[in-house]
Chains A and B, each alone.
Chain A
């Protein structure tokens, strides 16, 4: 049975997180590197170009890479210090087996022995309880080749339906909304379209901290006269100097979008030609938003009527515009409705599919886009195909050399995998690139479930907190130890290049997966010798799908500075801007610009529903969660990089002085935040840059500092994204102080 083998403190002493700082060659001046490797940052979805300096198989520093068009040398603090994740004292350099008597609770074992144990446990569990009893949790920081292989491994090798990935916590509401409205899930425009637009609307996106490079695009638009509208419960760094700030109450975004559309209709700020020619469903949406008068919108959203009217006027009268949103509107039990509401505003304006007329979700994870296209989602096959569609199954089965009937059907989402492990339907788990003990909501429940698993194997380069519960740990590869493609925020496919070899027994993740397949005696289809071969099969598997990569090659990526998908043949330059007249579209086939048979975009009625857990007498304050600029996701990497730890060492609970005064809390006081699921004690950060009815905690930390002890596991019924952005809490000074 998998469980935490001994006191967490001993594990932390042995495996970290220990903060690493520059030393040795990294601190010396005038060192000539052996090699300079052009690649990308390992963190967020922007995938900034960076040049790594390599000396003696160690990344010793970086040079800004001004030739990559997206960031032109710019980097955030995480990108600057990313190189410190290499040669790290916490790095896993051998396989480990759980052993309560060993130092830190795990003892090193031979890699082959570990693979044998994994294979035999998979076999034992699947023989006893059926193929679906063994599940896989994967991640969107993997290269697309690895993500593709994980999907294939689940369906072809393990024949389990139950694979899902941590993009479930990230981009899925946007993905569903985009597919419902446009028939395709990708940023509609390259970021260069932000530069000369008249209005930039940013909803629920802390651009400066979570997508810092995008800041320069927004500021450059402003230099040319654009008005910047920011919708957020907090005055984020970008909101500080925006033209209009709408301090929305968490969980009420779709009400605002409906209210704006109401005013667009009332004032006839509509593109009737576009609506007529290129959309369906406007009438029903128009009818629905009739009730969203400015007064009602103000009452629900907590934004003044005057500000709502001003925003509608600027949005309504603009000739060009770019709407951006991120997790702020997506992390909700009605995240898809929020996204559809935003898209309705865009469609009614007719401002899409043209230069400087844009719409995009700001993808969060490094390969948030590519990682959600090629089959590691529970209901998806490569090429953004649908695992329940017989034609799609037949096509992919042929590429994989199996019978369509042999492919499992749709599995369940990542949180449901945890619930099924709780109920005993799932008995074994393989996780890679995912730290659910920190990143899933209500993570005290997640911790209890991890202890119930009969067998748990984790592949990682550091021992993340979830892996504390593992029976076997396999040492995987860092970003700079492998090559492959990822698709960044704009839909641009780019190439990660290898800078150094994995240390010790660590190896590239795709090799580990193939080793397990071999040991199970099911090596057919898992005999790739390098990522390029996986990529070539992926191209084939994606051919004819919406996410068509078949015309993309490593060489073309190099030559063009990235290739925007879809790219259906090798002579095709790629598609930077979607929905342009005449652009390639395998669904509409010339009928129109959108990815439906009639070529028309869909308006969708987007009803408002309150958050799953609204405030009440017992829990009267809204908790919202998010990120800080110096940390990334569950912190497995960034909590091990000293200069980033120093920049923001531990989570603070942010609250408005009015609230703090009412609660008798001063800046810096230890403060206990309690929800129905858990509690957490942090220092207060009293700032007037947040709504007085809301507190904010960043979620990057583990254990007793973890914000996700408090959050609720309510999920959107369609996208299954959890509601990280709003739940009810009570707040008080720590007892006795």
Chain B
């Protein structure tokens, strides 16, 4: 059993409402019951309600596997990067530190790295992952490229990311506005910049408020 080739995962942070349905549903997945593998963060809650969900991006050449000294992380032929194998994992944290997306979690209780395996028990049996099934905003979407093109005419999937000199291609796609015409997403480019959320959100509220001045 494997994940069908035409079924892909798409993330659209513009849709995310931060409700945590994905986080709660992830812990219901049979391969890691009771443990949620999803990262859902406020970008800057003081100034915006914007949240960003991150599942494992399932890299074509996974950095986590490349740095693993115990060869515990396997990418199956269908492109899914699996959680570390228990008998091999030495809980060294290399993968946690190396993953450019910050995905793997070290479960110190079990001395095991765990991460999103795209609900392998479900997706390899023809079902959708828990998170993408329940997501009320469909910020997390699992389906075919034809479906996403039909449903999201304003956006386009992108699966190439730059981290400095490293280019990574992933099985999971990030939806970006069509107008952006991005060939890739330079993840590190904005790392040293101040978050710009503040100015944007303040304007939404105060620009639309009556101030008593002539307009």
Contact = CB atoms under 8 A, between A and B. Distances in A.
Interface stretch (A73-81, A98-106, A613-621): A73-81
B17 A208 contact: yes
A246 B194 CA distance: 28
A306 interface: yes
Consensus secondary structure, chain A interface: mixed
Given A74-B135, A215-B136, A29 B49 contact: no
A236 B205 CA distance: 11
Given A238-B17, A687-B45, A305 B33 contact: no
Interface residues of B, number: 48
Residue of B34, B136, B151, B153 ringed by the most chain A CB atoms within 10 A: B136
A305 B210 CA distance: 7
B138 A240 contact: no
B201 interface: yes
Nearest to B13: A241
Given A22-B34, A76-B19, A212-B21, A298 B201 contact: no
Nearest to B46: A687
B2 interface: no
A282 interface: no
A28 interface: yes
A609 interface: no
Interface in B1-49: 14-21, 23-25, 27-28, 30-31, 33-34, 45-49
B134 A80 contact: yes
Contacts of A223: 151-154
B17 A29 contact: no
Contacts of B47: 687-689
B209 interface: yes
Given A74-B138, A75-B25, A81-B24, A686 B210 contact: no
Given A29-B31, A241-B14, A687-B45, A216 B21 contact: no
Nearest to B152: A223
B179 interface: no
A689 B205 contact: yes
B20 A647 contact: yes
A61 B29 CA distance: 10
A304 B210 contact: yes
Residue of B46, B204, B207 ringed by the most chain A CB atoms within 10 A: B204
Given A245-B204, A688-B202, A302 B209 contact: yes
Contacts of B58: none
A28 B32 CA distance: 10
A79 B22 CA distance: 11
Contacts of A246: 208
B128 interface: yes
A304 B215 contact: yes
Given A29-B33, A81-B24, A219 B138 contact: yes
B17 A215 contact: yes
Contacts of B198: 688
A599 interface: no
17 contacts: A27-B34, A28-B33, A66-B133, A74-B134, A76-B134, A76-B136, A77-B21, A215-B137, A223-B152, A235-B201, A236-B49, A245-B208, A304-B207, A304-B211, A629-B20, A686-B46, A689-B201
Q: Which 9 A-B pairs rank lowest in CB-CB distance, beginning with the nearest?
A: A208-B17, A212-B136, A237-B17, A307-B208, A77-B24, A298-B210, A75-B134, A80-B24, A64-B133
Given A76-B19, A245-B205, A644-B24, 14 more contacts: A64-B133, A80-B21, A208-B18, A208-B137, A212-B21, A212-B137, A235-B204, A298-B210, A305-B210, A307-B207, A643-B24, A643-B27, A687-B47, A689-B48
